[in-house]
Copies of this chain bind each other. A is one copy, B any other.
Amino acid sequence: MTNRQLHLNLFVHGRGHHEAAWRHDGATHRSLTDIAYYTDLARKAEAARFDAIFFADALGIGDEVVHVAKGGLEPITIIAALAGATERLGLIATASTTYSEPYNLARQFASLDHITNGRVGWNIVTSWVSGAGPNFGDDRQIEHAERYERAWEFIDVVGKLWDSWDDGAVLDDRAAGVYARQDAIRRIDHVGPRFRVRGPLNVPRSPQGRPVYVQAGSSVSGRQFAAAHAEAIFTAHLDKTAAKGFYADIKTQAAALGRAPDSLVILPGISPTIAATEAEAHRLADELNALTHPAVGLDRLADRFGGHDFSHLPLDGVLSVEDFPDPRKVQAAQSRAIAITDLVAREKLTLRELLHRLSGARGHFAISGTPEQIADTIEDWFKSGAADGFNVMPPILPSQFDIFVSEVLPILRRRGLFRDDYEGRMLRDHFGLSRPHSQYFEPQTGLE
């Protein structure tokens, strides 16, 4: 295949991305702590030749659990458990730079990359969720800028650890009694403002060199970080214009840092509600909205605005921008807060309507339509510089994913936009990324 091809991830969230999905008939009846639920989804995603399956994460849980299906399994353990149930599918787990130790994270991901034979991605997050800090001795929420400073140093440290064994460091020479080459394993002796880490890692360099770096930050600091480090970017936009602006900005910033345009793929979230007719699709979306609980939406909206309380506003009153605090002062996912106030400024929405808009996919692009319409949108975004592919967020799991696979994928394949089969074995192969050289690699004196 020489045509530029779409990249597609399955983003797993609860029983679907719509906050009321768990109540719907089309949602799994398995428990969120039942690994069989995730194994089934992974096998389906692999059969559909998706690039990867992706698990988000949050380091805390709040009262919303009363009305929303939450509290599942930890992503690193899920990914490890899925390794044996799949052969080619990429497996992407989220882990935090703010509340992990670099040595622990580096060895778990190196281990995962070995266990999966090179299929692992690390979704790098700085843990903006307001409930995380107090679970780690941190009563104030660590500020946005501080989290990113730590993230930059963190990725420097883990990068060195992953390179601390050269490829080929393990000789395993039984006859001579030499297991590893002393000159191919090194301390990293990192000393920085936040971390002092000696190394080496206690895991040899992994099949992909290191996990694929995935990132989702879209604030100014988030974009800078992504342009410098990310190899796949999961991004949230409410419309194509915003997605195009983001796409151009990131690729330009990356180019300015000397990175080739295809060394990172940009994958906006898309949450498609799919039915045979447009009317039916809208009816399904309405059905889901009717199952929501306003308290959940209000909690989430509050979370987007640093804990600001919206519950005194009438649900059916029209909103104005004055009802919101300044989104530029939000210490969390700034870009999404800005997108919300922009939306309120643009359209006359009641609070209830806004909550419904956000209930579908938490600020990601939600769309209802026929398979043809969904495929058209995907193709349009893909060809007009808004996306290299998508992070597919089915509103209901597994039913809406099943429909995506059986109805939308064949259209994309007929149009030559999506692979019939995998061409490689590793996640880097699926994303079209090259294997990174070790930072300690010296071509002149390197390994034969």
Residues of A within 8 A of B (CB): 20, 22-24, 31, 33-35, 39, 58-61, 63, 65-74, 76-81, 83-85, 99-101, 103-104, 107-108, 110-112, 114-115, 131, 134-137, 139, 165, 170, 172, 174-175, 177-182, 185, 195-204, 206, 291, 293
Q: Are A198 and B135 in contact (CB under 8 A)?
A: yes
Select A179's contact among B70, B137, B139, B196, beta carbons within 8 Å: B70
In the complex, residue of chain B having the shortest beta-carbon distance to the beta carbon of A103: B135
A24: B residues at CB distance < 8 A: 174
- Considering the complex of A and B, which 10 residue pairs feature the smallest CB-CB distances, nearest first? A80-B80, A134-B198, A61-B202, A74-B111, A33-B114, A77-B111, A77-B80, A137-B196, A103-B135, A73-B111
Known: A33-B204, A179-B66. A174 touches B22 (CB 8 A): yes
A76: B residues at CB distance < 8 A: 76-77, 80, 108
Q: Are A65 and B198 in contact (CB under 8 A)?
A: no
Q: How far is the CA of A180 from the CA of B199 in the complex (A)?
A: 44
Q: Are A67 and B177 in contact (CB under 8 A)?
A: yes
A20: B residues at CB distance < 8 A: 177
Q: Which of A137, A172, A203 has the most CB of B within 10 A?
A: A137
Select A202's contact among B39, B59, B137, beta carbons within 8 Å: B59
A70: B residues at CB distance < 8 A: 179, 202
A35: B residues at CB distance < 8 A: 83-84, 114-115
Q: Are B137 and A204 in contact (CB under 8 A)?
A: no
Known: A99-B104, A104-B99, A202-B70. A177 touches B115 (CB 8 A): no
Select A135's contact among B83, B115, B175, B199, beta carbons within 8 Å: B199
Q: Are A77 and B165 in contact (CB under 8 A)?
A: no
A196: B residues at CB distance < 8 A: 134, 137, 139
Q: Are A136 and B197 in contact (CB under 8 A)?
A: yes
A202: B residues at CB distance < 8 A: 58-61, 70-71
Minimum CB–CB distance for A136 against chain B, Å: 6
Q: Are A108 and B77 in contact (CB under 8 A)?
A: yes
Select A203's contact among B39, B71, B195, beta carbons within 8 Å: B71
A139: B residues at CB distance < 8 A: 196
Q: How far is the CA of A354 from the CA of B108 in the complex (A)?
A: 36
Minimum CB–CB distance for A82 against chain B, Å: 8
A174: B residues at CB distance < 8 A: 22-24
Q: Are A68 and B179 in contact (CB under 8 A)?
A: yes
Q: Are B69 and A195 in contact (CB under 8 A)?
A: no
Q: Are B136 and A73 in contact (CB under 8 A)?
A: no
